[in-house]
Structure 1
Amino acid sequence: MLRDIVAIRGGGEIGTAIAHKLKRSGFKVFIIENDTPISIRRTVAYAQAVFHGEMTVEGIRGVNVSDAEGIITAWEKQEIPVIVDSQCDILNEIPVDVLVDAIMARKNTGTTRDMAAITIATGPGFIAGEDVDIVIETKKGHDQGRLIFDGAAEPETAIPGESEGVEMNKVANAPIEGVIHTHVHIGDMVKKGQLMAEIAGVSIHAQISGIVRGIIHDGSNVWRGLKILEIDPDVSPEQCYRLSQRSRDVAGGVLEAVLYLKQQHQLNTD
């Protein structure tokens, strides 16, 4: 019988950090994505395997698979499988113990407690004890990574961290709906005022100088208000290829939640 199987909805940075940590901790993990995943920090997102067939993050390889057999084959190779399955039909074939919603949509896009013995969600949009068993706080700050057993995570603003000064200028949101055409790459050093991207003829320029820490996939369809890029003056190009403290904290919270609930439910203890 298969044991300690975790399905993760969403392969962005948060979902990737969760998959990475749980795999290192001995769990069989697979990621469920859609066919056009949206990721800002693409250099640390297993979702990119949907586009490129594979993605390696901090030494662990993720691979795009098409079915349950592909998932099992990837596990045998010590890889993290990524399957495109918007309806989560794969859950009818793979007997998961744990389901983690890491889509980070700020709303529940369809995760319910009956999808697995243990259900966990990251960020706002879920009620612990109703939608899922436990919610993990994702808002940057003192409670980052905290387990919430009753209630919801704090609402997040459109930008990470503080809401004014340099922090506000680190990110850009899409001013209009359309297809994005990017002019820089993750890891590039840019200057304030430099052209970063264009959407439907509207130009987006850097508000500060620094390293491009994240930018959405060129050619993606974006909607107004979507976070499309992030510049950070305090990181090195190498750090663009490593998981952030925030993602690691959230992943640690998920691991704690899984171990706690597994003990409470006495799952796989024989």
Structure 2
Amino acid sequence: MILIKGAGDLATGVANRLKKCGFNIVMTEISEPTTVRRTVAFSQAVYDKEVEAEGITAVLASKKEDINRILKDGNIAVIVDEEAKIIDEIKPDIIIDAILAKKNLGTYIEDAKIVIALGPGFTAGVDCHCVVETKRGHYLGKPIYSGSAIPNTGVPGDVGGYTKERIIRATNDGKILPISKIGDYVEKGDIVAYVNETPIFAEINGIVRGMLQKNINVFKGMKSGDIDPRCEKNHCFTISDKARSIGGGVLEAILYLQNTLK
């Protein structure tokens, strides 16, 4: 059994690949997930009870008995459990920290036989057995067994020649009201959402690939969506190249550590 902390789009890419390889998967989430790529995120099960991404279904659980039933049915279980206390009940063999908070929020190398973490904020051999690189570029998806991932730069990865311009950010504190839907084409200057009565404008032309749902609480500057300048609508509803690469790195790390850790 594998427990994955976090169920956002990157965590979903990892879970999807591992499930297809035969692992049982349990994922933990917060009570109000803020995943912008929610069309391919198992975190959406918190709102919709059951979601599907590329042939794999995730179902919301509320207790251990639910988890057992969901796994028996061949699905992934998602449980609202911000501190991942369910670990003490189900005792997973493998724990993957996929929260992507850019810092360690409470994962320890002693938590399971194999502990893997995604991205910066962790040191392999100290916090976990392996860190998987999450920064776009040459080393994306690389398992690191000693040391840390590339530090967070604060600049989104380049997609279609754009970095920070493709991110839709909240203009102030409040509740978001999307105007554009995931999959819509927008042009620079279009209003894509409001926070209270303040508009959010698109900074580039492209397809809205991610957008928070209506009435989610946001704060000024918070990532609330993204625009893909490549304008491939099917990208909005399929797991990203980045998530697939990270998933491959996690799978490699699990197989390697199973053979080396005694």
State the TM-score, normalizing by the size of structure 2.
Answer: 0.95
In structure 1, the residue matched to 2:142 is 146
1:29 to 25, 36, 52: 25
Q: How far did residue 233 of structure 1 move? A: 2.2
Amino acid at match of 1:166: Y
**1:57 is matched with which residue: 30, 53, 58?**
53
Give the distance between the partners of 2:228 and 2:160, measured in 1 at CA. Answer: 15
Structure 1: where are the runs of 5+ without partners?
A: none
Q: 2:172 aligns with which of 173, 176, 184?
A: 176
Q: Distance in 2 between matches of 1:16 and 1:9?
A: 11
User: Relative to 1, partners in 2 of residues 1:236 and 1:162: Cα closer, same or farther, differing over 3 Å?
Assistant: closer
**Structure 1 residue 217, shift from structure 2 partner:** 2.5
What's the C-alpha RMSD, in Å, of the aligned pairs? 1.7
TM-score with structure 1 setting the length: 0.92
Between 31-40 and 168-177, report the one with greater CA deviation. 168-177
Matched, 1:111 2:99: no
Given the superposition, is the C-alpha separation of residues 240 and 9 from structure 1 closer, same or farther in structure 2, using an over 3 Å criterion? same
* Aligned-partner Cα distance in 2 for 1:243–1:72: 26
What is the CA-CA distance between 1:165 and the residue it aligns to? 6.0
- Structure 2: which 5+ runs fail to align? none
How far does the alpha carbon of each residue in 1:97-118 deviate from its partner, in whole angstroms, 9 at most, with x for none? 1000001111111111122111
Whole-angstrom distance in 2 between the partners of 1:15 and 1:49: 13
* Residue matched to 1:240: 236
Superposed, which structure 2 residues align to 1:243-258 within 5 Å? 243-258=239-254
- Which position in structure 2 is the counterpart of 1:223? 219
Deviation at 1:164, TM superposition (A): 11
Structure 1 residue 243 displacement after superposition: 0.4
Mark the CA change 1:190 to 1:57 in structure 2 (over 3 Å): closer, same or farther: same
Aligned twin of 1:203? 199
Match of 1:76 among 72, 79, 89: 72
Please tell me whether residue 167 in structure 1 is matched to residue 157 in structure 2: no
Secondary structure of 2:163's counterpart equals helix
User: In the superposition, relative to structure 1, how do residues 163 and 187 fare at CA in structure 2: closer, same or farther (>3 Å)?
Assistant: closer
Identity %: 41
Amino acid of the residue matched to residue 213 of structure 1?
R
Letter in structure 2 aligned against 1:260: Y
Q: Distance in 2 between matches of 1:142 and 1:161?
A: 12
2:86 aligned counterpart, secondary structure? helix
Q: Which amino acid letter does the alignment assign opposite residue 22 of structure 2?
A: G
For residues 164 and 57 of structure 1, the distance between their equivalents in structure 2, rounded to whole angstroms, comes to 24
CA contact (8 A) 2:159 2:228 kept: no
Between 1:49-58 and 1:120-129, the stretch displaced more is 120-129
- Displacement of 1:159: 4.2
Larger mean CA deviation between 164-173 and 191-200 belongs to 164-173
Q: Confirm or deny: 8 A CA contact 1:12 1:45 kept in the other structure.
A: yes
> 1:46, 1:56 within 8 Å by CA — same for their partners in 2?
yes
Cα gap change, 1:73 to 1:226, in 2 (>3 Å): same
Paired AA for residue 51 in structure 1: Y
Task: Name whichever of 92-101 and 168-177 sits farther off.
Answer: 168-177
Match of 1:261 among 248, 257, 262: 257
1:132 lines up with 2:124 in the alignment = no
Aligned pairs, number:
262
CA contact (8 A) 2:140 2:242 kept: yes
What secondary structure sits across from 1:253 in the alignment? Answer: helix
